[in-house]
Structure formats: structure tokens, C-alpha cells
Amino acid sequence: MAGLSTRHLLGIKDLNAADIQLIFETADTFKSVLNRPIKKVPSLRDVTIANIFFENSTRTRLSFELAEKRLSADVVNFAASSSSVSKGETLIDTVNNILAMKVDLVVMRHPYAGAGVFLSKHVKAQIVNAGDGAHEHPTQALLDAFSIREKYGDVAGKKVVIVGDILHSRVALSNILCLKQLGAEVMVCGPTTLIPKYIGSLGVKVEHDLIKALNWCDVANMLRIQLERQDIKYFPSLREYTMLYGLNKQILDGLNKEITVMHPGPINRGVEITSDVADSKQSIILDQVENGVAIRMAVLYLLAGQA
């Protein structure tokens, strides 16, 4: 079987269309494994993986850890808040100390953009980027595109709108790059202050009217407001944002066609999306979570196979 064209997974920009298809085909196999009574395979037995998280995470961390254990890997978890990082230790020293314990692969989330790229140039282990600041979140984009493929049979030709805080979202950039690679049409929608100035250079449409955007699309990916990354106010209030860009059941039922609703999580219910939409039959949010384990199993398996 052909392997990935890259040694690390630092961002979608490092993958070509063949890489993405290979990850999807491998994830198809692992998803069938996850639906069996015995959900474990010995594919990464004797491989040690360190999960190094410098930011809080629930879904991504659990998803990676479960994927690693389903592949029979040995797993080491590291949280920056309870480590020597708080005593002034550098990123490279932290990781090299972990690698000295014979770790083969590092999954890292970091608050600064480019941390994974920096690390890949200074350590020998393979790096999987689990999110770096407002830069990229490649496995989230892969699982989102995989979920669209599962729903519609193919991503090519589908119209996807990404709604919300595009400016501060690593999910938005990775999704745009991944969906464009696979032949989808992409639009972003949100307040002018939350749309990056040069977003058009990525080949996406821009719309500021939520209803127009939803009537255009097949799939709506609703993003939360990244308040923890905002150092100034980008809109008057959350209430006003919800009035203009929040998706509720009344809006959903009033569209000229049935669309699919996605959300990368965590959901702020009642802000970007209401509970009756998040829990509706048009929502594939829990399918995204399930597919996340299969996609991360595929990524880890394919990268470990290159070692």
C-alpha cells in the first residue's frame, strides 16, 4: 500500500488529494473495526505515543487517546499545567525529555501557531498537530470532510458554508484547505470583523447574510465564538451575534431545501446554534465525533508505518 507523502501531519497544506483519499480509505477500514464487538487491533503494538497538550481539550484528547488504544499503542499523557513547563522549561527540552524515554510519535496541541512546525525541525519523532493557536487543526478538517463524504457519498461539488468566528478559528482554515482539495465549493459567513481580510485569496466566497448563505449551501458548519483568543470586542454583544448569526429551528425549517448541520465542538448552545438544531435529524455532530476516532486511527497508523 502506498504511504503518505509527508512524515508529519502539521497541517492540511502538507497533504495532497491522494494523501487525503488514502486517509479516508484507511478510516473506512478502521470504522468497521470500531463497529465490531472487539474494537481493538494490534496494528501499533510496541509503538509509544505521547499526547502533549498545552491547551485544554476534551474531544480531541479523548479521541486521540481512544484511537491510540484501539490500535494497541502504549500511551503517555502530558498536561502542561502540571508539568515542568510551569517552572520555565522550554518546549524543545520538554519534548526531548519525553523522547529520551523512547517515545515514537508525538501528538501536540499548543496555543501558538507554528509550534508543530518548529518542533518537527528540532526533534526526531513524528509530530501530529492536534491544533496550534488560530493556525490549523488538520484532523478536525479530515473528520469533517470524511463525515460529508459519508453523508453524501462524495465531497466534490458539495457547497459548504462555514459560519462564525473565521478570524480566530484553526478549524476554519483547515476545513477550507481540505474541502478545496476535494473539490467542494466553500463559503464563509459572519460579521465583517470576524472575517479575515484576505480570505478571498483562498478561493472562497464571502457572505454576511446568514439566510442567503444557508439557502446556498448543502452543509453548514457552525463555529463557536473563540472568546479566549479575542483581546478586543469584535461585536457589540453575544445576544446581537445570536440574533444575526445564530442558527435556530425556525430558520432551519424556513430554508428552501434540507441542509446538513455540523459543529466541531464545543457547542455554545443558544449562541451559534440552538439545542433543537444540534439534536435534530439534520445534525451529524455526533457522527463527526464517532468519525474522529476512525480518522485519527488512520492518521496514526499511516504515519507510524513510515517509521
Exposed/middle/buried for residue 26 (C-beta within 10 Å: 0-12, 13-18, 19+): buried
One-letter amino acid for residue 301 of the chain = Y
Q: How far apart are CA 291 and CA 284, in angstroms?
A: 10
* Annotated binding-site residue? 265: yes
* Annotated binding-site residue? 122: no
* Annotated binding-site residue? 266: yes
* Annotated binding-site residue? 239: no
Q: How far apart are CA 107 and CA 10, in angstroms?
A: 10
Q: How far apart are CA 114 and CA 136, in angstroms?
A: 9
* Annotated binding-site residue? 37: no
Closest CA to 304 of 58, 63, 67: 67
Q: How far apart are CA 211 and CA 248, in angstroms?
A: 11
* Annotated binding-site residue? 137: yes
* Annotated binding-site residue? 8: no
Closest CA to 20 of 279, 301, 298: 298
* Annotated binding-site residue? 170: yes
Closest CA to 148 of 43, 260, 10: 260
What's the angle, vertex CA 287, arms to CA 60 and CA 45, rounded to 5?
Answer: 50
Q: Are 272 and 246 in contact (CB under 8 A)?
A: yes
* Annotated binding-site residue? 124: no
* Annotated binding-site residue? 157: no
Q: Which residues are annotated as a binding site for carbamoyl phosphate?
A: 59-60, 109, 137, 140, 265-266
Q: Which residues are annotated as a binding site?
A: 59-60, 87, 109, 137, 140, 170, 224, 265-266
Q: Which residues are annotated as a binding site for L-aspartate?
A: 87, 170, 224
